[in-house]
Amino acid sequence: MPAVLEARSITKRFPGVTALRDVSFDLQPGEIHALCGENGAGKSTLIKLLSGLHPHGSYEGELFLGGAPAEFHSVADAQQAGLAVIYQELALVNELTVGENLFLGCEPRRGLLIDWDLLWRESGALLARVGLGERCDHYPVQLSGGEQQRVALARAFMNRPKILFCDEPTGNLDGDTAAVMVDLIFGLNRERGTTLVLVTHDLELARKCSRVIRLKGGAVVSDETVS
């Protein structure tokens, strides 16, 4: 079975800095990967590249999806191919309700008008999956950090990604909230076979993953199964 995603000899340069150096690895269907490394190791650059934020042509090397060459010229290209990201800094619009945030940019429509009944019904169902079923009409500022991350996860459920990248999913959360978030993320893997990549400094979280990919100085220094 081909890898769901494969990177071959990826090098990403910025003026005066080489952020990624000849990075190669593969992601297998349904696996949970931990992506580890110190600050400045290249983790964020790699995620931005894989998710289309650094578009094809701005780096050297090749990406493959299911064995076929992949070129992401934008975030929309990557999303259409089944890749999604939950960033540590969540991009929620405080002036919109949680339900509106979920469907921002892809609002259901009836003709030229937004189908508000469908939006509230669908957003309520999605939020119920992450324990926030009664929060559709709340605003992001009314939610805790952990609850805002659940909103981002609900958005991932909506897009049904093949691969989900989570940037420090437990980084700003207390122990109990972090445990709930991890259970929800791993539940997405169990339920849909979604391949997960968790960018993390949390060694306990890394031990729960299938494999650990470690970056140092922009290069892969180890790629091993947890066992």
Quick one: pLDDT at residue 59?
96
Distance (Å, rounded) from C-alpha 2 to C-alpha 4? 6
Residue recorded with tokens 């805790």: 144
Q: pLDDT band at residue 90, thresholds of 50, 70 and 90?
A: low
For residues 47 and 142, membership in a common domain is answered with: no
Distance (Å, rounded) from C-alpha 170 to C-alpha 117? 34
Distance (Å, rounded) from C-alpha 156 to C-alpha 40? 27
For residues 9 and 72, membership in a common domain is answered with: yes
Nearest to 90 by CA among 151, 158, 137: 151
Q: Over the chain, what is the mean pLDDT? A: 89
> For residue 145, is it within any domain?
yes
Quick one: pLDDT at residue 219?
96
In total, the chain counts a number of residues equal to 227
Distances, alpha carbon 111 to alpha carbons 107, 115, 119, 142, in Å = 12, 9, 14, 33
Q: Give alpha helix (H) positions in the chain.
A: 43-50, 75-80, 98-102, 116-129, 145-159, 175-192, 203-207
Q: How many independent structural domains does the chain possess? A: 2
* Higher-scoring residue by pLDDT: 159, 54: 54
pLDDT above 70: percentage of residues in the chain: 98
pLDDT above 90: percentage of residues in the chain: 51
Quick one: pLDDT at residue 213?
94
Burial 73-109 (b: 16+ CB within 10 A, else e): eebebbbebbbbbbbeebebeeeebbbbbbbeeeeee
> For residue 87, is it within any domain?
no
Q: pLDDT band at residue 77, thresholds of 50, 70 and 90?
A: very high
Burial 156-177 (b: 16+ CB within 10 A, else e): bbbeebbbbbbbbbbeebeeeb
> For residue 89, is it within any domain?
no
For residues 170 and 222, membership in a common domain is answered with: yes
Distance (Å, rounded) from C-alpha 74 to C-alpha 77? 5
- Whether the predicted pLDDT of 38 surpasses 70: yes
Quick one: pLDDT at residue 64?
96
DSSP 3-state of 1? coil
Do 170 and 202 meet the contact criterion of CB atoms below 8 Å apart?
yes
State which residues form the domain around 143.
94-159
Note the pLDDT tens digit of each residue in 56-73: 999 999 999 999 999 999
Beta bridge partners of 98: none
For residues 20 and 117, membership in a common domain is answered with: no
Note the pLDDT tens digit of each residue in 100-144: 998 888 888 999 899 999 999 999 998 988 888 888 899 999 988
Of 139, 159, 179, the position where a domain reaches its end is 159
